[in-house]
């Protein structure tokens, strides 16, 4: 395994205030990575706020479904930083409804946040990434991007699309500088999706298994460190494939 050095690298992390994003940022900061944190929330939690106060990162409140806000952010970034080493596209939304109940607004939100935002951020930051000696674009996908699921047409469509985007770019850039990777992820104990943590805790009591945000962030770090890691990495809790077969 050829290891990438993390010290003094610069990472952009979307979904910074969410369970996985927040856990990942903590691990990156521990490894002396400077984190450019993005979320739609105006206020940071205490841990991430501390990192900003300690000059270990910067925070930007951005609506990633708004391309004008992304343009402004990327322009700002280009004026402040000579390079970006890692782009972690973690922000997403899980709207689980049958097509009869799904609104066009919910469909558009699912596609715009889960698929278009990673595409557009990658496109806008490609020049800064190419300056890095080991650039990485890391997208967080889902088992629902591989397994069609009843009542999740919007979510599955966005994650099937993200999988196609990531693996296509991995081939497009094969032998070139930027590495593209997809984490095809199973259920995680966060507030993501319908019912949030409360519903997941109830399901856990009757036998459903979940990954923790910390285990996911550790997986992302290990994958980032390994220069030879594959373009797609699956990470599921026990029983996930059987439940969704």
Helix, strand, coil percent content, the chain, rounded in steps of 5: 45, 15, 40
Residue 211's domain comprises 10-243
Q: Are 217 and 29 in contact (CB under 8 A)?
A: no
**DSSP assignment, residue 144?**
G
- Contact between residue 57 and residue 35 where contact means Cβ atoms under 8 Å apart: yes
So what's the pLDDT on residue 1?
Answer: 47
Q: Specify if 1 maps to a domain.
A: no
Euclidean distance between CA atoms 206 and 111, whole angstroms: 32
Q: b/e map of 73-94 (b: 16 or more CB within 10 Å)?
A: bbeebeeebeebbbbbbbbbbb
Helix (H, G, I), strand (E, B) or coil at 115: helix
The pLDDT, as a whole number, for residue 235 is: 97
> pTM to 2 decimals?
0.96
pLDDT of residue 46: 75
Query: The domain that contains 155 carries what CATH number?
Result: 3.40.50.720
At which residue do the structure tokens 């009542």 appear? Answer: 151
Which residues of the chain, if any, have pLDDT below 50?
A: 1
- 61 and 37 in contact (C-beta within 8 Å)? no
pLDDT at 238: 93
Q: Collapsing DSSP states into helix, strand and coil, what is residue 85?
A: coil
Written as six digits, the tokens of 51 are 């990192």
**Angle, CA of 194, 197 and 200, to the nearest 5°:** 75
At residue 2, the pLDDT reads: 61
- Report pLDDT digits (tens) over 200-236: 999 999 999 999 999 999 999 999 999 899 999 999 9
Tell me if 2 is assigned to some domain.
Answer: no
The reported pLDDT for the residue numbered 242 is 85
List, for residues 44-66, the tens digit of each pLDDT value.
877 899 999 999 999 999 999 99
Q: Is residue 147 part of a domain?
A: yes
Question: What's the structural domain count of the chain?
Answer: 1
Note whether residue 186 is domain-resident: yes
Other Cβ atoms less than 10 A from the Cβ of 42: the count is 8
């Amino acid at each position: 395994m050829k290891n990438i050095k993390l010290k003094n690298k610069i990472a952009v992390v979307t979904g910074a205030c969410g369970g996985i994003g927040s856990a990942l940022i903590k691990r990156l900061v521990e490894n002396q990575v400077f984190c450019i944190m993005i979320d739609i929330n105006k206020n940071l939690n205490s841990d991430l706020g501390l990192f900003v106060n300690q000059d270990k990162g910067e925070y930007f409140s951005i609506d990633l479904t708004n391309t004008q806000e992304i343009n402004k952010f990327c322009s700002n970034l280009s004026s402040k930083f000579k390079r970006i080493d890692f782009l972690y596209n973690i922000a997403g939304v899980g709207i689980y409804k049958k097509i009869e109940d799904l609104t066009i607004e919910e469909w558009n939100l699912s596609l715009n946040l889960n698929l278009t935002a990673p595409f557009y951020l990658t496109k806008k930051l490609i020049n800064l990434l190419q300056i890095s000696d080991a650039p990485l674009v890391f997208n967080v996908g889902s088992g629902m991007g591989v397994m069609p699921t009843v009542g999740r047409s919007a979510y599955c469509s966005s994650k099937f699309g993200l999988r196609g985007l990531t693996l296509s770019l991995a081939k497009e850039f094969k032998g070139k500088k930027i590495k593209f990777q997809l984490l095809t992820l199973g259920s995680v104990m966060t507030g993501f999706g319908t019912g949030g943590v409360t519903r997941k805790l109830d399901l856990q009591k009757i036998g459903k298994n979940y990954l923790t945000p910390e285990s996911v962030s550790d997986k992302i770090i290990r994958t980032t460190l390994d220069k030879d890691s594959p373009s797609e990495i699956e990470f599921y809790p026990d029983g996930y494939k059987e439940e969704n077969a």
